[in-house]
């Protein structure tokens, strides 16, 4: 009986080894990595402000032509002009509440004033 178990174990081992050697059934076969192309939005001809907006969290609350959590960028552009760039850049950095409703805009304290101004300049180009 021991001899039968040994033979059975040997057959099972050989069968398992054959499956592991079959490249169609191996689970640890390394696949070729996908190529990810990184595009610099500003270098690709986009406004520097748009590149900053796309790289930040802005589009989770704002859309170009549709109100989401906050106003659309077109609504902002229609309400403000170039004289308001500093005020709006400060609003991006400090956050705020009340102008567009009671939902507060998240502050972006780590953003430079220069980048905030570029974003506002882009938004103002959307004026209808």
End-to-end CA distance of the chain: 90
- From 85, 84, 72, 58, select the one nearest 128 (Cα to Cα): 72
What does the alpha-carbon distance between residue 78 and residue 106 come to, in Å, rounded to a whole number? 22
Model pLDDT, residue 45: 78
The one-digit pLDDT tens for each residue of the chain (128 residues) are: 556 555 555 555 555 555 445 555 555 555 565 554 445 655 667 899 999 999 999 999 999 999 999 999 999 999 999 999 999 999 999 999 999 999 999 999 999 999 999 999 999 999 98
* Strand, coil or helix: 58: helix
Instruction: Choose which CATH entry (3.60.10.10, 1.10.760.10, 3.30.1360.120, 1.20.910.10) describes domain 48-124.
Output: 1.10.760.10
Query: Can you give the residue ranges of every domain in the chain?
Result: 48-124
In this prediction, residue 107 carries a pLDDT of 95
């Amino acid at each position: 009986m021991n001899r039968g178990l040994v033979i059975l174990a040997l057959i099972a081992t050989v069968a398992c080894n054959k499956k592991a050697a079959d490249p169609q059934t191996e689970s640890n076969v390394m696949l070729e990595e996908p190529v990810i192309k990184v595009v610099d939005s500003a270098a690709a001809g986009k406004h520097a402000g748009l590149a900053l907006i796309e790289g930040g969290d802005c589009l989770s609350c704002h859309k170009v032509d549709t109100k989401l959590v906050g106003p659309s960028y077109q609504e902002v552009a229609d309400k403000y002009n170039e004289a308001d760039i500093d005020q709006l850049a400060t609003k991006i950095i400090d956050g705020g509440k009340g102008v567009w409703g009671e939902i507060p805009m998240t502050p972006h304290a780590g953003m430079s004033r220069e980048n905030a101004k570029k974003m506002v300049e882009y938004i103002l180009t959307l004026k209808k």
